[in-house]
């Protein structure tokens, strides 16, 4: 057998160890620890612009104001001046701002050379807070996806942002919107400078991470009917309301304790679920009133948390025990 060429073996080994994505000179992972490799700002610009709204985390409160880190800009430091905390007279600074809490603030000044960023809390309206938090939560979800892929494929996160995240921020209103489109379309990443292996990993994780989760919508109602058809009128009215549900958005109506009932609906769209329960409530009311009964909405349809569901379940179990005890007393 012919002797192998050591030089050729070395070239073959070097080729097999090449990274999946070509690295720029300043992206050499050999000189980066894990934390450095997986840290990056959310947006392409290194610093925010004046009057931008940003989300910060409060790190320290001093005489001059509060020292914070800008969560969307790789935790660069900024300061909320004491005079910019509130429009009102400050009696207790701890009632306005607390360490480790996130705040939405406005950028007043950016000194890129010295790294100074002055911020204001008092110039932010409640509407600004809602919009900024929505944008931040979307950007945070994007960051989570890209960071996961970078970690799994041993990539530099900033390099992945340059090739995927920031181009999609340009092509779409928000990179998150592109990821949502990717749930149903495979061509979102066409034209991006990344290998197919990375695109596949992105699509796989996006469809696992961002797939819509069912939301529970709940309403509480009281129904009564003291006419001859009483019980049957209530039963048929509740069935009329429940019949408006579908396989995609099923409606359930359960007894809490007479005359209180809870209506629930599982849906992927909050507004759609609320509208459906409102229609169901109207159907129950119309059917019941036609038989001489009445219905009162005790809690209008709304999305409920797991905690609220747990509290409802605990209350229903307690009432079931109490009713069982009463039935036992009647038997004596």
Please state, in angstroms and as integers, the Cα–Cα distance from residue 179 to each residue in 30, 36, 45, 106, 318, following that order. Answer: 31, 25, 21, 28, 45
The whole-number pLDDT of residue 306 equals 64
CATH 2.40.50.140 domain extents, the chain: 53-124
SS3 assignment, position 197: helix
Does the pLDDT of residue 328 top 90, yes or no? no
**The CATH number, out of the four listed (3.40.50.150, 3.40.50.300, 2.40.50.140, 3.40.630.10), of the domain defined by the range 53-124:** 2.40.50.140
What are 176's two structure tokens?
């998150």
CATH 3.30.70.1130 domain extents, the chain: 215-326
Contact 281, 291 (CB under 8 A): no
SS3 assignment, position 95: helix
Instruction: State the average pLDDT for the chain.
Output: 85
> What order of strands is seen across the sheet that includes strand 251-257?
251-257, 260-267, 215-224, 294-303
**The CATH number, out of the four listed (3.30.70.1130, 3.90.550.10, 1.10.357.10, 3.40.50.300), of the domain defined by the range 215-326:** 3.30.70.1130
CATH 1.10.150.190 domain extents, the chain: 132-209
DSSP codes of every residue in 245-293: --SSS-EEEEEEETTEEEEEEEES-HHHHHHHHHHHHHHHHHHHHTTT-
Does the pLDDT of residue 18 top 70, yes or no? no
Q: State how far the Cα of 141 lies from the Cα of 144, in Å rounded to an integer.
A: 5
Percent of the chain topping pLDDT 90: 60
Using one digit for the tens of pLDDT, what is the confidence trace for 152-186?
A: 999 999 999 999 999 999 999 899 999 999 988 88
Using one digit for the tens of pLDDT, what is the confidence trace for 90-145?
A: 666 777 788 999 999 999 999 988 888 999 999 999 999 999 999 999 999 999 99
Using one digit for the tens of pLDDT, what is the confidence trace for 57-70?
A: 999 998 888 999 99
Does the pLDDT of residue 307 top 80, yes or no? no
Q: Any residues with CB less than 8 A from the CB of 231 and at least 6 apart, and which?
A: 225
Please count the CA atoms within 13 angstroms of the CA of 302 that sit on its side-chain side: 11
CATH superfamily of 132-209: Translation initiation factor 2; subunit 1; domain 2 (1.10.150.190)
């Amino acid at each position: 057998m012919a002797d192998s060429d050591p030089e050729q073996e070395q070239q073959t080994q070097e080729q097999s160890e090449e990274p999946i994505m070509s690295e720029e000179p300043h992206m050499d992972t050999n000189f980066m620890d894990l934390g450095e490799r997986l840290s990056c700002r959310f947006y392409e610009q290194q610093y925010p612009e004046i009057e931008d709204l940003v989300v910060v985390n409060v790190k320290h409160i001093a005489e001059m104001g509060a020292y914070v880190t800008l969560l969307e800009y790789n935790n660069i430091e900024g300061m909320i001046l004491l005079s910019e905390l509130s429009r009102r007279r400050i009696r207790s600074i701890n009632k306005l701002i607390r360490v480790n809490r996130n705040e939405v603030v406005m950028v007043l000044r950016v000194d890129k050379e010295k790294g100074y960023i002055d911020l204001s809390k008092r110039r932010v309206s409640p509407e600004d807070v809602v919009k900024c938090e929505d944008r931040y939560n979307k950007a945070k979800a994007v960051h989570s996806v890209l960071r996961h892929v970078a970690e799994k494929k041993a990539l530099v996160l900033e390099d992945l942002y340059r090739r995927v995240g920031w181009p999609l921020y340009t092509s779409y209103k928000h990179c998150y919107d592109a990821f949502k489109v990717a749930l149903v379309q495979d061509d979102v990443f066409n034209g991006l400078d990344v290998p197919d292996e990375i695109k596949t990993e992105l699509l796989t994780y996006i469809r696992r991470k961002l797939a819509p989760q069912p939301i529970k919508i709940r309403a509480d109602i009281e129904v009564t009917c003291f006419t001859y058809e009483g019980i049957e009128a209530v039963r048929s009215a509740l069935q009329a309301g429940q019949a408006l549900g579908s396989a995609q958005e099923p409606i359930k109506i359960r007894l809490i304790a007479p005359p209180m009932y809870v209506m629930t609906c599982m849906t992927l769209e909050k507004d759609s679920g609320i509208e459906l329960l409102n229609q169901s409530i109207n159907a129950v009311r119309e059917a019941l009133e036609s038989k001489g009964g009445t219905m009162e909405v005790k809690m209008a349809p709304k999305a409920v948390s797991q905690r609220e569901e747990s509290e409802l379940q605990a209350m229903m179990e307690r009432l079931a025990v109490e009713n069982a005890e009463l039935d036992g007393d009647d038997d004596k």
